[in-house]
Amino acid sequence: MGGKNIVFMGPPGAGKGTQAKILTEKLNVPQLSTGDILRASKAAGKLAPELIKAMDSGGLVPDEVVIGLIDDRMQQPDAVNGALFDGFPRTVVQAEALNAMLSKRGKRIDVAIAIEVDPSLLIERTVLRRTDKRTGQIYHLKYNPPPPDAELVHRADDTEVAVKKRLDAYARDTSAVIPFYEKEGVLKRVDGVGDVGEVTKRIFAALGV
Ligand code: AP5
Q: pLDDT tens for residues 39-80? A: 999 999 999 999 999 999 999 999 999 999 999 999 999 998
Q: Is the pLDDT of residue 1 over 70?
A: no
**What positions carry a catalytic annotation?**
16, 90, 129, 155, 166
Beta bridge partners, 188, equal 113
Measured by CA distance, the residue closest to atom 5 of ligand 1 is 12
- What is the pLDDT, as a whole number, of residue 178? 98
Ligand 1 close to Cβ of residue 11 (< 6 A): no
Q: Do 10 and 116 form a contact (C-beta atoms < 8 A)? A: yes
Q: Is the pLDDT of residue 2 over 70?
A: no
CA atoms within a 13 Å half-sphere pointing along the CA-CB vector of 141? 9
Ligand 1 close to Cβ of residue 90 (< 6 A): yes
Instruction: Domain of residue 167: give its range.
Output: 4-207
Any idea what the Cα angle at residue 19 is, between residues 170 and 135, rounded to 5°? Answer: 105
Percent of the chain with pLDDT over 70: 99
Residue 115: pLDDT band with limits 50, 70, 90? very high
* Residues 128, 51, 179, 123, Cα dihedral to 10°: 20
d(CA 91, CA 62): 10
Amino acid at the residue 107? K
CA of 131 to the centre of ligand 1 (A): 11
d(CA 48, CA 125): 28
Number of structural domains found in the chain: 1
Measured by CA distance, the residue closest to atom 49 of ligand 1 is 15
Q: pLDDT tens for residues 183-209? A: 999 999 999 999 999 999 999 999 988
CATH number of the CATH domain containing 97: 3.40.50.300
